[in-house]
Structure 1
Amino acid sequence: NTLPFRYYFFLMPMFCFVIPTYMACYLLDESLTNSWYVVAIFRYVASLNGTWLVNSWAHIWGTKPYDKNISPTNSTFVGIAAVGEGWHNYHHVFPWDYKTSELGAYSTNLTTAVIDFFAWIGWAYDLKSVSDDLIKKRVLRTGDGSHQYSEEQLREKMVDYINNLDHENENVVWGWDDVDMKDADRKDATVSNKID
């Protein structure tokens, strides 16, 4: 067991409730009641609900640009509320991509910004990311048509591609090291900050 797990029942209440309450009282001259209910309790409940949105809202409302046959969706609202975890359809189709989305901006995916920072200082490495070509192939094969690659310029290719596939017997890729993952898909991935 690591230190945080060993002392969880002491550290979690201290960092989640006691220290924020004390800091609001001391630095902002708030009353103990206001500090407790606003800075500790309300903040904790709001962050829990933002996290839980991923498993509720992001499985009901949103688009399915990568695979229309699974329940997870992409939702900008959840992406903002859960600090970058709203791109659930992408995450379930490409679970090995560290970015959990194909978005280049950090505005709705702060999780990627944190991981990129740790890669920059050398603490995160071998970051795997899906290539543009692999995304296009998947969008055309199983997407719901809401992705930019599904627009006019690819409609003809999509019809031909779908007509030539047997989806019922197709293997599903669940993780980076799964035996079902094809070597061609592995080669299409982008690995940044690689350590050999």
Structure 2
Amino acid sequence: MMSGIGTSAGSHRLWSHRSYRARWPLKLWLLMFQAITMNGSALSYARDHRTHHKYSDTAGDPKNPTRGLFYSHIGWWLLKKTDAVIEGGRQLDFSDLYRERLVYLQHKYYLPIFIIFGVLIPWSIPVFGWNEDPWMSFGLVVVLRITIVLHHLFTVNSLAHYFGYRPYDFRIRPADHRFVNYISFGEGIHNYHHVFPYDYRINERSQWELFNPPGMFIQLNRLIGLAYDLKVASPSVIAGVVRRRGVQPIRDQKRSLTFRICNALFDWTVGILVGAWAAYPLIAFKLLTGRTIG
């Protein structure tokens, strides 16, 4: 969960979009957990993501969904960048990322940081903590964890550009989809995000109303003074955008407080249950065989 939040709240909302500001202890925490996703450094992620937003759904987009669902999900991650993507990236300014010392150091020493915090420490905790089989530990807490987290995050690039509702701008591919929001840990309200990328929130409502662990994590850090200057789109700007190029009938309407609380309880419960799906086969294995996982 924290590796997903490290990407969502860190390399995405903080360093790609600068949607809030953070003090160095929070930056250090986010950089450590972002590194263990095996999704590249925060600097390289932010560089690609800014390019993705600038040239979204075109040849200059590193994750271009017009090349197919598989390509936008993981194909772009497996292949070299095209000339159009490289040329598009050269037109953008990433100097702020290189000037930020912690971000640059994580980028420069990404491989040893990943090996220590993403492989050795997670692997050693079960092995030395409760005598887990070393290969079982490596398979579950390294290989399986990385695979699941990456594919959860990648659904935002693929599924969220193909399926869902587009209440804020019907002309673009990114869409709002609750299931994608569950498996991506709060990144699936994607039409709103592409229209208002500078907003740290996932939609215009109070963030407790929808499953959104990164948003709540940012708000918690604001309460303890580690996050500040949280940026939001004003209601008048949102209303103007919807009026010009949105679809008002499918935009979330104001509801009663009782409805909002019930919806929040439902959404967070379903989000947690869906997000934790990988644990269910292991529990079933133990129950059916009467053996421990190790």
| TM-score using structure 2 length | 0.47
1:171-190 aligned at under 5 Å gives the runs none
* Greater Cα shift, 83-92 or 106-115: 106-115
Match of 2:168 in 1: 66
Measure, in 2, the Cα distance between the counterparts of 1:10 and 1:42: 20
Measure, in 2, the Cα distance between the counterparts of 1:24 and 1:74: 38
Match of 1:148 in 2: 252
1:98 corresponds to which letter in structure 2?
Answer: Y
Measure, in 2, the Cα distance between the counterparts of 1:149 and 1:42: 40
1:149 to partner: Cα distance = 4.2
Gaps of at least 5 residues in structure 1 are 151-196
Measure, in 1, the Cα distance between the counterparts of 2:152 and 2:167: 23
1:49 to partner: Cα distance = 0.5
Residue 117 (structure 1) aligned with residue 205 (structure 2): no
Match of 1:135 in 2: 238
Note the aligned Cα RMSD (angstroms). 2.0
| TM-score using structure 1 length | 0.69
Match of 2:150 in 1: 48
Residue 21 (structure 1) aligned with residue 123 (structure 2): yes
Does the CA-based 8 Å contact 1:139-1:149 persist in structure 2? no
1:123 to partner: Cα distance = 2.6
1:135 corresponds to which letter in structure 2?
Answer: I
Gaps of at least 5 residues in structure 2 are 1-100, 255-294
Structure of higher RCO (CA pairs closer than 8 Å, 6+ residues apart)? 2
Q: What's the secondary structure of 1:140's corresponding residue?
A: helix
Measure, in 2, the Cα distance between the counterparts of 1:11 and 1:67: 40
Match of 2:198 in 1: 96
Q: Which has the higher helix share?
A: 2
1:93-112 per-position Cα deviation (integer Å, ceiling 9, x unaligned): 11111113224244511111
* 1:57 maps to which of 153, 159, 170: 159
Identity %: 35
Alignment: residue pair count: 150
* 2:183 maps to which of 77, 81, 84: 81
Does the CA-based 8 Å contact 1:136-1:149 persist in structure 2? no
Measure, in 2, the Cα distance between the counterparts of 1:136 and 1:10: 47
Measure, in 2, the Cα distance between the counterparts of 1:58 and 1:77: 10
Does the CA-based 8 Å contact 2:171-2:245 persist in structure 1? yes
Residue 126 (structure 1) aligned with residue 237 (structure 2): no
Residue 10 (structure 1) aligned with residue 112 (structure 2): yes
* Greater Cα shift, 41-50 or 94-103: 94-103
Q: What's the secondary structure of 1:95's corresponding residue?
A: coil
Match of 2:134 in 1: 32
